[in-house]
Amino acid sequence: MVKKIIKNQKIRVRIAPSPTGPLHIGGARTALFNYLFAKKNKGVFVLRIEDTDKERSDLKWVQNIIEELKWLGIEWSEGPDIDGKFGPYKQSQRIEIYKKYLEKLFKEDKVYYCFCAKEELEARREEQLSRGLAPKYDGKCKSLTKEIIETNIKEKIPSVIRFKVHGTKIKFSDLIRGEIEFDTGLLGDIVIAKDLDTPLYHFAVVIDDYEMQISHVIRGEEHLSNTPRQILLQEALGFNQPIYAHLPLMLNADKSKMSKRVGDVAVSDYHKNGYLPEALINFMVLLGWNPGTEKETFSLNELVKEFSLEKVQKAGAIFNVQRLDFINGIYIREKPIGKLTEVCLPYLPKEAQNLPKKTLEKIIEAYKLRIKKLSDITELTNFFFLDKLEYDKNLLKWKEMKNEDVKEALLLCDTLLSKISEGKWNAKNLEKVLLTEAEKFNQKMGYELKNRGYLLWPLRVALSGKSASAGPFEIAEILGKEKTLSRIQQTLDKLSQKMYS
C-alpha cells in the first residue's frame, strides 16, 4: 500500500522543469505557487532539472530557467546551483539511483522488457479504437521466457521496460480538486524506461520525489492524468504518497490551452519586451488564485502572507495580455524616476549614453504615462536621438489648416522661441510665451480663437515627427534651444520643397 505523507512532516515542494526550451510562463506560475506555499508554511522549495531527454535537453535552457526564475525573484533553497543533502538535482546525474530501483522492480517481477515495434503498437491501437475501446497495451511481451528476452537483448532488438498495471481503482485527495478516482484498468502496462540507464518521466519523478522527501506536489492540471500512474509506482515501491494540488490550466483569450508554439509564452519574451518582474509576478498569481479582496497589486512579501491553496480556483485561467499591460503600467508609474530611467536605458539607442542623467530622466518622465512595457520607450522617444526627422509633411496640418498657414505658424514659433534666453528655456516658460500668442495667431488667420492646436500642432510635429507624442513644451525643453530652432528650420526647408501639397 502507498503510505500517506504524515501531516506534521516538514513541507518540501519542488518544480522540475525540462530544459528542452526556455522557461514557459506556465512553468513560472507553477514555480511561483510552490514558492509562495513553501514560504507561507516555512517549508523548503526545491529546483530540480528533469534532463533525462538527452536529445532535446540543452545546458543553455538550464541556464535560462535559473536566470529567469532569479529575475522574477523566485528563489530556491536546494537546486543544481545550490548544495543540498538530497542532491544531485539534475536527473542526468541520478541515473544510478533510478537503476537501483529498476533492478528492484525486476527482482520483484513488477516490470518486464517489451520488444513490440512502434508500427505493431500503432496497428493495435488503431484496431482497438475501431472497436470503440480505449487504446492500451495488450501485454503481449509480459510472458516472454527468460531465454527469449536474453536473445532479443543480445541481438539488440529495440525494447522498453514496462510496468505491470493491475486494474484497480485509484483514489486520492487533491487540495484544489477534492476527491478524485481513476480506473487504472484503462491504462495498460506503462512504459517507465527505455533501458536500465534511461528512465522515463513517470518513473524518475516518483523516485526523485521520494528521495528528496517532497511532501506536496503542486503542478498544472495537465499532469492530473499522470497521477494514477505515479501512485501505482509509489505503491509498487512502498513509497510515501505526497499530497497533490493541480493548478488550473492557463488559457488563451479564446479559451484554448496556451501552446508552447503560439505567441510569447517564454518568460524571457516578457523579460526582453520590458515587463517588470514584479508586474509579471502579480499577474501570474492572479491566474487561478483569488485573494478575495479588491486589492490589485501585491509585493512578493505580501503574497507570502496572503497566499493559500484554498483560494485557488478549479476553472481555467485566461491569460489576458491587456490585463498584464495594465498591471505593468501601474508598476512603471510607481517606480522612482531614477530607477525607471535605469531600467529603460537598455531600450534606448546608444546615443542615449552620451546624454546627462537629468536629460534622460526628463525624457522618461515625459513618457512614463504612455508606457505599457519598457520596450515602448524605443519607438516613443527615438526622435530625441536623431539628427534629422523623416515624416509626411501633411502631418504638420492641424484640421483644415492651409499649407501656407502651417508655415506661418512655424515662423511665428521660430521668432518667439529665438527671443527666449537659455536661462529661461524650460517647459513652463515656453508654454507661457506660446500660449499668449496662440489666440492672436488664430485671430489673424481666421481660425477658432480658443483652439491652440493651429499654432502648437505644427510645432509639436516639427519637433517630434509623430502624430502622438508628449507636449511641445516638454519636448522643446529636453531638446534645448539650439536643437529646437534647428528642427523648426529643417521643417521650414521641408515646406519650401515643391512636393508639399
Neighbouring CB atoms inside 10 A of 53's CB total: 15
Question: Which residues, 6+ apart, have CB-to-CB distance to 290 below 8 Å?
Answer: 311, 313
Which residue is catalytic, options 99, 164, 260, 397?
260
Q: Known catalytic residue: 154?
A: no
Crossing angle (nearest 10°) for helices 472-479 and 481-496: 110
Q: Which residues pair with 220 in a beta bridge?
A: 247
In angstroms, the Cα distances linking 389 to 227, 335, 392, 463, 494 are 61, 31, 10, 8, 11
Neighbouring CB atoms inside 10 A of 195's CB total: 14
424: helix, strand or coil = helix
CB 373 within 8 A of CB 274: yes
Q: What is d(CA 277, CA 283) in angstroms, rounded to the nearest whole number?
A: 10
Residue 316 phi, psi (nearest 5) = -60, 150
Determine whether 356 is exposed, middle or buried from the number of CB atoms within 10 Å of its CB (0-12, 13-18, 19+): exposed
Q: Are strands 44-47 and 111-114 parallel, antiparallel or unpaired?
A: unpaired
Quick one: how far is CA 114 from the chain centroid? 40
Residues classed as catalytic: 260
